[in-house]
């Protein structure tokens, strides 16, 4: 059978950018099946000669094209570069995936398009070209039993660090053992064996894998767990997660970084809140019940603890205020609220917010504007690891979103108790009001199946921290 003679079904339109991403690397457990597909395509469909490099590139391409087709119901695309002049950061990542030059890759793409195995839409100068699998390529992949159940994480080693070139590499095994190597391995195995669904959609094993990522080879900076799809889901969508068919709750550590920073300086944040009120209350909205006032303060204080300088903090907060706001959060804009505050209370700019928060939280002034995120994340991740170890040893699946945890409803009280216990153990402090340490995230109900699936697809496609923009409101103008 010659693929070029096959009738093609070009049945769908090019879709929104939300369903497009750069080419991504995958690993596949059934190597023989994948090799059979590539050999079949070279022998029956393509007019170029086979060699090791373009065979490898085709295998990598098939895996990603098939995955994005299946996860997006044929609506997704991947972005590629086919000329040296277009190679940017994405192009560099592309080479790591396909392991061949742009010229060789370009010939392969042209041959696939001529054989009507892919559809292509050229990008503007400096932008990626979008491609996706045709029905013929999906039919061939299905014929040779390609399935998402056999996709595995590219590298099974669960502890990484960033080297001097910002590449993620495996932590030396001796160091990794002290950082939870065995525990994370057992945790990932448990999750892969657990039935986890979002609405009516089951998650695949490769979507459940967590890796602990450090910013240094010594394992002293960061250390958060990254990777599983629930970390990319919008908060409202996490309400629809079920574990083994059972409804779940999400328990959040309240004000995690301020809580840790206060403890490092010997202060109990819960006692402070009990005596003086929230660390986010400042003079401009001391008596306000407007949700955006707290949002501005909370985000600002977190940025102050993360930023390396005051100017960096001002820039980051200004950018946040001028971004979009999810409809689930409310229908007014943050920057509009800043304009209102200017009229109501004399607030002129972001810097005044920072000055008030410094005064409000003078007990942790030494943690502000010094890049404290690195060691605060490290401590937070130790707490998180201890919590998941506790439940993994009891064979109970628990999902982490850094400082919040998703678990079956029946385990709610036990989870709250364990979180508080591990926070006190790691920070070596006894809290005055334990009820102020954790809170339950409100449940979202009423999302239509169509919208749920749409938002899930976007989260599955995107790698990294990206929101689904079709459900966002855009800001009008800027205050600062």
Mean pLDDT across the chain: 84
Q: How confident is the model at residue 155 (pLDDT cuts 50, 70, 90)?
A: low
pLDDT for residue 128: 84
**What number of other Cβ atoms are within 10 A of residue 345's Cβ?**
15
Residue 331: DSSP 8-state: S
Q: Where are the alpha helices (DSSP H) in 277-372?
A: 291-306, 310-321, 334-345, 350-360
- Residue 118 forms beta bridges with which residues? 133
Q: Are 261 and 376 in contact (CB under 8 A)?
A: yes
Residue 5 has pLDDT above 60, yes or no: no
Question: What number of CA atoms fall less than 13 Å from residue 476's CA on the CB side?
Answer: 6
Which residues lie closer than 8 Å to 318 by C-beta, 6 or more apart? 350, 480
pLDDT for residue 184: 96
Q: How confident is the model at residue 91 (pLDDT cuts 50, 70, 90)?
A: very low
Residue 328 has pLDDT above 70, yes or no: no
Distance of CA 418 to the CA centre of its chain: 25
Least confident of 58-62, 123-127, 304-308: 123-127
Average pLDDT, integer, range 78-101: 71
Least confident of 16-30, 80-94, 433-447: 80-94
Residue 52: DSSP 8-state: H
Residue 478 has pLDDT above 90, yes or no: no
Q: Are 153 and 192 in contact (CB under 8 A)?
A: no
pLDDT in tens, 342-354: 555 555 677 888 9
Which residues lie closer than 8 Å to 277 by C-beta, 6 or more apart? none
Phi, psi of 246 (to 5 degrees): -105, 145
Residue 126 has pLDDT above 60, yes or no: yes
Query: How many helices and strands in the chain, by DSSP H and E?
Result: 17, 19
Residue with tokens 């600062």: 480
Q: Are 34 and 60 in contact (CB under 8 A)?
A: no
pLDDT in tens, 385-427: 999 999 999 999 999 999 999 999 999 999 999 999 999 999 9
Residue 476 has pLDDT above 60, yes or no: no
pLDDT for residue 92: 64
Residue 453 has pLDDT above 50, yes or no: yes
Lookup: tokens for 467: 């929101």
Question: Helix 52-71 vs helix 449-461: angle between axes, to the nearest 10 degrees?
Answer: 160
Lookup: tokens for 227: 């990777």
Closest CA to 389 of 360, 362, 353, 425: 425
Which residues lie closer than 8 Å to 183 by C-beta, 6 or more apart? 385, 388, 389, 392
Phi, psi of 53 (to 5 degrees): -70, -50
pLDDT for residue 96: 78
Distance CA 121, CA 208 (A): 32
pLDDT in tens, 418-431: 999 999 999 999 99
Average pLDDT, integer, range 59-63: 95
Q: Which residues of 87-120 are buried (b: 16+ CB within 10 A; e: fewer)?
A: eeebbebbeebbebebebbbbbbbbbeebbbbbb
Measured CA to CA in angstroms, residue 256 lies from 316, 438, 439 at distances of: 20, 9, 12
pLDDT in tens, 356-379: 999 999 999 999 999 999 999 999
This prediction has a pTM of 0.84
pLDDT for residue 90: 47
Which residues lie closer than 8 Å to 62 by C-beta, 6 or more apart? 34, 37, 38, 41, 137, 141, 146
Least confident of 216-220, 301-305, 456-460, 474-478: 474-478
Which one of 87-91, 237-241, 328-332 scores highest in mean pLDDT?
237-241
Q: Which residues of 196-230 are buried (b: 16+ CB within 10 A; e: fewer)?
A: bebeebebbbbbbbbbbbbbeeebebbbbbbbbbb
Lookup: tokens for 351: 């810097």
Distance CA 234, CA 332 (A): 19
pLDDT for residue 10: 38
pLDDT for residue 345: 55
Residue 338 has pLDDT above 80, yes or no: no
Average pLDDT, integer, range 166-191: 93
Average pLDDT, integer, range 466-480: 27
Q: What is the DSSP string of 121-169?
A: EPPPTTSPEEEEE-HHHHHHHHHTT--GGGEE-S----EEEE-TTS-EE
pLDDT in tens, 217-265: 999 999 999 999 999 998 999 999 999 999 999 999 999 999 999 999 9
Residue 281 has pLDDT above 50, yes or no: yes
Pairing of strands 196-198, 399-400: unpaired
Residue 288 has pLDDT above 60, yes or no: no
Lookup: tokens for 385: 């690891």
């Amino acid at each position: 059978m010659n693929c070029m003679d096959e009738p093609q079904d070009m049945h769908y339109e090019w879709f929104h950018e939300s369903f497009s991403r750069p080419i991504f690397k995958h690993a596949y457990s059934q190597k023989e099946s994948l090799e059979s597909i590539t050999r079949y395509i070279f022998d029956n469909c393509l007019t170029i000669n086979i060699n090791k490099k373009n065979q490898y590139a085709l295998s990598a391409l098939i895996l990603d094209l098939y995955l994005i087709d299946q996860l997006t119901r044929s609506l997704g695309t991947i972005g590629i570069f086919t000329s040296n002049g277009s190679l940017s950061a994405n192009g560099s990542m592309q080479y790591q995936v396909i392991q061949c030059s742009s010229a060789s890759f370009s010939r392969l793409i042209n041959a696939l398009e001529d054989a009507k195995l892919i559809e292509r839409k050229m990008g503007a100068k400096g932008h990626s070209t979008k491609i996706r699998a045709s029905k013929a390529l999906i039919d061939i992949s299905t014929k040779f039993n390609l399935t998402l159940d056999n996709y595995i994480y590219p590298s099974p080693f669960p502890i990484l660090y960033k080297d001097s070139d910002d590449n993620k590499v495996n932590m030396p095994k001796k160091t990794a053992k002290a950082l939870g190597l065995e525990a994370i391995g057992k945790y990932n195995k448990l999750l892969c064996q657990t039935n986890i669904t979002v609405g009516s959609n089951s998650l695949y094993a490769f979507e459940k894998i967590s890796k602990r990522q450090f910013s240094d080879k010594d394992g002293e900076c960061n250390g958060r767990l990254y990777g599983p799809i629930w970390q990319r889901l919008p908060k409202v969508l996490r309400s629809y997660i079920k574990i083994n068919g059972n409804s779940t709750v999400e328990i959040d550590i309240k004000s995690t970084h301020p809580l840790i920073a206060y403890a490092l300086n010997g202060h109990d944040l819960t006692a402070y809140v009990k005596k003086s009120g929230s660390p986010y209350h400042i003079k401009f909205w001391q008596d306000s019940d407007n949700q955006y006032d707290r949002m501005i303060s909370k985000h600002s204080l977190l940025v102050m603890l993360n930023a390396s300088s005051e100017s960096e903090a001002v820039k980051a907060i200004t950018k946040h205020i001028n971004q979009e706001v999810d409809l689930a959060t409310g229908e007014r804009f943050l920057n509009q609220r800043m304009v209102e505050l200017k009229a109501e209370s004399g607030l002129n700019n972001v810097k005044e917010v920072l000055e008030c928060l410094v005064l409000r939280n003078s007990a942790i002034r030494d943690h502000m504007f010094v890049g404290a995120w690195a060691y605060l994340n490290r401590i937070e991740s130790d707490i998180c690891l201890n919590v998941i170890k506790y439940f993994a040893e009891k064979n109970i699946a628990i999902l982490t979103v850094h400082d919040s945890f998703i678990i079956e409803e029946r385990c709610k009280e036990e989870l709250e108790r364990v979180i508080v216990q591990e926070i006190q153990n790691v920070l070596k402090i006894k809290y005055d009001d334990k009820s102020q340490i954790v809170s339950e995230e409100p449940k979202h109900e009423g999302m239509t199946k169509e919208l749920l699936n749409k938002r899930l697809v976007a989260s599955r496609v995107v790698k990294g921290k990206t929101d689904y923009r079709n459900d966002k409101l855009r800001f009008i103008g800027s205050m600062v």
